[in-house]
Amino acid sequence: MRHPFFLKAAMAAPVVLACNGNAQTKALEAPLGPVPLVDVDPDPDAIEVSIVAAPGRWAFLPGKPADVWSYRDGNVDGDEGRVPGPMLLGKLGDRVTVHFRNELPEPTTLHWHGIKVPALHDGSNVSQMAVDPGASFTYEFTFTEAGTFWFHPHLSADEQIERGLYAPIVVRGEDDIAVDADRMLVLDDVKVESSGVLSPTITGLDLMVGRQGNVLLVNGERLPRFEAAAGGRERWRLLNTANGTYFNVGLPGQRLRVIGWDGGLLPEPYEVDAVVIAPGERYELLVELGGVEGETIELQTQHYDRGHDLPDQGPRALATFALTALPAGPANQSPAPRGQVEPLPVTADTPRRSFTLSEQEPANPGDEPRFFINDEAYPDVTRLVVGTGEVEVWEIVNDAEMDHPFHLHGTFFQVLDQPRLGWKDTVNVPRKSTVRIAVDFDNPGLWMYHCHILEHAERGMMGVLQVGPSP
Ligand code: C2O
Ligand code: CU
């Protein structure tokens, strides 16, 4: 076993984070899934980790390693990197220091998707200089919300994320739920050749709808098999890191209880048959596992029609859960804790803005499609200005022939005109429709908003927002 903190047990167990030869220990329960980064700060309210982005090898198909770009834990001697990268794990209020080194052959950044970082540490195209090959940058921020987030590059994101640069973030709150297992399930897909290598071919369809893979991945593996206790209760943190693929996740014959969105727990959990997860989004589920010991449950994704006549491939398996006997002392069955979310004050006087998303098919064969917000394509965009502390209503009008997941940096928003209250940073805007959101601009600085289909963001569908005075 290469990594000292790899969790073998199927049940969530306290993990002791011991630093390299350092006597200090700090206990924090890690969800099952990607290994946590080693925290070398003995202070219980501070986290200090080291991340290296470097070329590496990863087997998407068993026994057939591919050249990838991946994140390594700089505090683990000889770490060779993994896909997804190691998880950043902490708790509400922790001060976080990330020492980052770029060992890739091109510039990159780390963007903390959903974390309310100070603008200069946001790792976006407008917030910092690119970290050049061989260079380092230290990111500093505080965890101000509990929930499930992720980090990834914000330069050539369509290629860099597809090559393997992405990793989850879990921030624990004080109100953690008693469960038999807490799982981080990172959903992705990759286009691989039969030899196992990442396909070097980028098609016109890849650019138009976002590159779609032929292999579905959960935590970097094709069809992983997990063990779970029959009759147990589990918390699943679902994150979609794909370039363009939407997951429509379900457990056949079972309803799903949604307890959290991008920005944390919901005040009113709700039940659905399946949950559509657009690129960039997170959903948290509380799952009661029926069945008996020896049975297997399959997590599936179904077709979701997001436009451009993408074919229905039928239900596809993502992962299987082999049911084992429920251990003694199961989690208590008390009701799930709820998030505290107050509706943002929206009145007839609340300032409004409108954003129209549009696409342009390539004029000539060989040209690339272009994507626009209000007829502008990044980087040739007008910088919007909002006062710090303002609440605005944004109307996102999708005039295109496909859905676009709209993401805003630096803050959270609430989705209007629908019954549920909760915080989001990414919302799907179905084709030929309008979604209205209420945004709380409490974090000053320069921020980006864009479509989270990475090929679209990289081909124009991205804008710049200034909150407060010009930095
Ligand atoms: Cu997850 Cu601007 O990105
Ligand atoms: Cu898009």
Residue 52: DSSP 8-state: E
Ligand 1 contact via 165 beta carbon (within 6 Å):
no
Ligand 1 contact via 154 beta carbon (within 6 Å):
yes
Q: How far is the CA of 411 from the centre of ligand 1 (A)?
A: 12
Strand partners, 447: 465
Which pLDDT score, from 0 to 100, does residue 26 have? 65
- Enter the pTM of the model: 0.93
pLDDT of 3 higher than 90:
no
Q: How far apart are CA 111 and CA 121, in angstroms?
A: 8
Which pLDDT score, from 0 to 100, does residue 188 have? 98
Contact 198, 192 (CB under 8 A): yes
| pLDDT tens, residue by residue, 66-104 | 999 999 999 999 999 999 999 999 999 999 999 999 999
Mean pLDDT value across residues 433-447: 97
Ligand 1 contact via 183 beta carbon (within 6 Å):
no
Which pLDDT score, from 0 to 100, does residue 7 have? 28
Mean pLDDT value across residues 405-412: 98
Q: How far apart are CA 275 and CA 403, in angstroms?
A: 16
pLDDT of 9 higher than 90:
no
Which pLDDT score, from 0 to 100, does residue 327 have? 73
Q: How would you class 349 by CB atoms within 10 Å of its CB: exposed for 0-12, middle for 13-18, buried for 19 or more?
A: exposed
Contact 306, 403 (CB under 8 A): yes
The overall average pLDDT reported for the chain is 92
DSSP track, 113-173? ET----GGGS-STTTS--B-TT-EEEEEEE--S-EEEEEE-SSSHHHHHHTT--EEEEEE-
Q: Which atom of ligand 1 is nearest to the CA of 409?
A: 2
Q: Which atom of ligand 1 is nearest to the CA of 450?
A: 2
Mean pLDDT value across residues 12-41: 66
Starting from the CA of residue 157, give the closest ligand. Answer: 1
Record the tokens describing residue 365, joined without a space: 């064969």
| pLDDT tens, residue by residue, 309-353 | 999 999 999 999 999 987 766 566 667 778 999 999 999 999 999
Which pLDDT score, from 0 to 100, does residue 24 have? 41
CA distances (Å), 434 to each of 39, 91, 357, 427, 437, in order?
43, 36, 10, 11, 10
| pLDDT tens, residue by residue, 205-240 | 999 999 999 999 999 999 999 999 998 999 999 999
- 447 Cα distance to chain centroid: 18
Which range among 8-22, 105-119, 325-339 has the greatest average pLDDT?
Answer: 105-119
| pLDDT tens, residue by residue, 34-50 | 999 999 999 999 999 99
Q: How far is the CA of 262 from the centre of ligand 1 (A)?
A: 13
| pLDDT tens, residue by residue, 174-213 | 767 888 999 999 999 999 999 999 999 999 999 999 999 9
Q: Which atom of ligand 1 is nearest to the CA of 113?
A: 1
Starting from the CA of residue 402, give the closest ligand. Answer: 2
Mean pLDDT value across residues 408-419: 97
Q: What is the dihedral of CA 259, 265, 268, 271, to 10 degrees?
A: -10
Q: How far is the CA of 371 from the centre of ligand 2 (A)?
A: 7
Name which residue sits closest to atom 1 of ligand 1, judged by CA.
Answer: 113
SS3 content of the chain, % helix, strand, coil (to 5): 5, 45, 50
Ligand 1 contact via 456 beta carbon (within 6 Å):
no
pLDDT of 437 higher than 70:
yes
Mean pLDDT value across residues 289-302: 93
- Please give the order of strands across the beta sheet that includes 147-152: 88-91, 167-172, 147-152, 111-113
**Which residues keep their CB under 5 angstroms from ion ligand 2?**
404, 451, 453, 456
Starting from the CA of residue 165, give the closest ligand. Answer: 1
Q: Coil, helix or strand for 209?
A: helix
Starting from the CA of residue 125, give the closest ligand. Answer: 1
Which pLDDT score, from 0 to 100, does residue 5 have? 28
Contact 234, 228 (CB under 8 A): yes
Ligand 1 contact via 113 beta carbon (within 6 Å):
yes
Name which residue sits closest to atom 3 of ligand 1, judged by CA.
Answer: 113
- What confidence category does residue 1 fall into, taking pLDDT thresholds of 50, 70 and 90? very low
pLDDT of 378 higher than 90:
yes
Ligand 1 contact via 237 beta carbon (within 6 Å):
no
- What confidence category does residue 15 fall into, taking pLDDT thresholds of 50, 70 and 90? very low
Q: How far is the CA of 166 from the centre of ligand 1 (A)?
A: 11
pLDDT of 118 higher than 80:
yes
| pLDDT tens, residue by residue, 123-147 | 999 999 999 999 999 999 999 999 9
Residues making up the chain, counted from first to last: 471
